[in-house]
């Protein structure tokens, strides 16, 4: 292997290492109980709100909320009910 080729491989590996450090590779197979999952999502929403100043996000669709809720085992109908209540100003 040439010196240049070895140097390029080293540079490529460093780049890959940096990318993996930035990407959310810390996702594990850990299973949260429902209460912990709610705390995690609640905290994530607050963290996202803090970042909105840097990355302007106008909102989240009802469909995205339903999909997130489904991952938490929340029935679609209760998400839809909560969305209706929000639109009516009841929350």
How do residues 70-81 score in pLDDT, each as one tens digit? Answer: 887 889 999 999
The Cα-based distances of 88 to 4, 21, 63 in angstroms read: 66, 43, 18
Is the same domain home to 3 and 41? yes
Average pLDDT, the chain: 75
Judge if 33 and 65 occupy the same domain.
no
What six digits make up the tokens of 85? 């209540």
pLDDT tens track for 30-48: 888 888 988 988 888 778 7
pTM score of the predicted model: 0.48
Residue 69 CB-density burial (10 A; 0-12 exposed, 13-18 middle, 19+ buried): middle
Tell me: do 4 and 26 sit in the same domain: yes
Rg (CA), the chain: 21
Q: Average pLDDT, stretch 58-80?
A: 86
d(Cα 58, Cα 23) in Å, to the nearest integer? 23
- Domain coverage including residue 66: 61-91
Q: Mean pLDDT across the stretch 25-32?
A: 80
């Amino acid at each position: 292997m040439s010196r240049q080729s070895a140097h390029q491989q080293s540079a490529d590996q460093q780049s890959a290492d940096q990318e993996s450090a930035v990407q959310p590779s810390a996702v594990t197979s850990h299973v949260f109980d429902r209460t912990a999952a709610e705390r995690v999502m609640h905290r994530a929403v607050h963290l996202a709100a803090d970042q909105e100043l840097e990355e302007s996000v106008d909102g989240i669709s009802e469909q995205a909320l339903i999909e997130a809720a489904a991952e938490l085992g929340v029935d679609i109908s209760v998400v839809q009910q909560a969305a209706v209540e929000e639109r009516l100003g009841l929350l």
